[in-house]
Amino acid sequence: MRITAVEPILLKGTQTYGATAGAEEATDNGDWQLLVRVATDEGLTGWADAETLAPAAVAIIAGQGMAVLGFKTLGELLIGENPLDVERLWDKLYVGSAYYGRRGIAIQCISAIDNCLWSIRSQAAGVSLARLLGGRRHDRVMAYASTLFRETPEGMKAAAQGYVDRGFHAVKFGWGVFGEDPGRDRELVAAAREALGPERHLLVDPGWYPAGWKTPGPMRSRRDAVALVEWLADYGVGWCEDFIHPERFDEYAYIRSRSPVPIAAGEQVATVWDFQRFIGEGCVDVIQPDLSRCGGVSVAKRVAEMAEQAGIDLVPHSWLTHLLTGYSLQLISTLPRARFVEFNVSQSALTAGIARASFRLQPDGTVPIPDTPGIGVEVDEDFVQRHRAN
Ligand SMILES: [Mg+2]
Consecutive 10-residue averages of pLDDT for the chain (390 residues): 98 87 83 96 98 95 95 97 98 97 98 98 98 98 97 97 97 93 96 98 91 67 95 98 95 98 98 98 98 98 98 97 97 98 94 86 96 96 96
Distance between CA atoms of residues 279 and 269, nearest Å? 11
Confidence at residue 216, expressed as pLDDT on a 0 to 100 scale: 61
Q: What CA–CA distance (Å, rounded) separates 114 from 88?
A: 11
Domain spans of the chain? 3-126, 131-382
Using the mean position of ligand 1's atoms as its centre, give its distance from the Cα of residue 216 in Å.
Answer: 18
352 C-alpha vs ligand 1 centroid, how far in Å? Answer: 19
Quick one: fold of 3-126?
Enolase-like; domain 1 (3.30.390)
Q: Phi first, then psi: what are they for 311, rounded to 5°?
A: 75, 30
User: What residues contact residue 149 under an 8 Å CB cut-off, 6+ apart?
Assistant: 19, 156, 173, 174, 175, 176, 177, 178, 188
Distance 71 CA to ligand 1 centre (A): 32
Ligand 1 centre to CA of 172 (Å) is: 9
Q: How many A from CA of 123 to the centre of ligand 1? A: 31
Q: How many A from CA of 41 to the centre of ligand 1?
A: 38
Q: What is the Å distance from ligand 1's center to 290 Cα?
A: 10
Residues 6+ apart with CB under 8 A from 165: none
Strands 286-287 vs 313-314: parallel, antiparallel or unpaired:
parallel
Distance in Å, CA 341 to ligand 1 centroid: 13
* CA 86 – ligand 1 centroid, Å: 28
The rounded Å distance from CA 45 to ligand 1 centre is 30
**Distance from CA of residue 10 to its chain's centroid?**
19
- Ligand 1: centre distance to CA 300 (Å): 17
Residue 171, phi then psi, degrees to nearest 5: -140, 140
- Are 216 and 208 within 8 A, CB to CB? no
**Separation of 146 CA from ligand 1 center, angstroms?**
9
DSSP state of 220: P
Residue 109 is predicted with a pLDDT of 98
Q: What spacing in Å lies between the alpha carbon of 174 and ligand 1's midpoint? A: 7
C-alpha of residue 267 to centroid of ligand 1, in Å: 7
Report how far ligand 1's centroid is from the alpha carbon of 70 (Å): 31
Determine the distance separating the centroid of ligand 1 and the alpha carbon of 99, expressed in angstroms.
29
- Rounded Cα–Cα distance for residues 343 and 143 (Å): 6
Query: pTM of the predicted model, to two decimals?
Result: 0.97
Residue 214's pLDDT is 64
Please give the distance of CA 160 from its chain centroid, rounded to a whole number. Answer: 22
pLDDT of residue 25: 86
Report CA(207)–ligand 1 centroid distance (Å): 7
pLDDT at 213: 58
CATH 3.30.70.20 fits 131-382, yes or no: no
Strands 3-12 and 32-40: antiparallel
Cα 334 to averaged position of ligand 1 atoms, centre (Å): 23
Closest CA to 366 of 195, 207, 170: 170
- DSSP classification of residue 72: -
Can you name the residues that pair with 341 across neighbouring β-strands?
A: 143
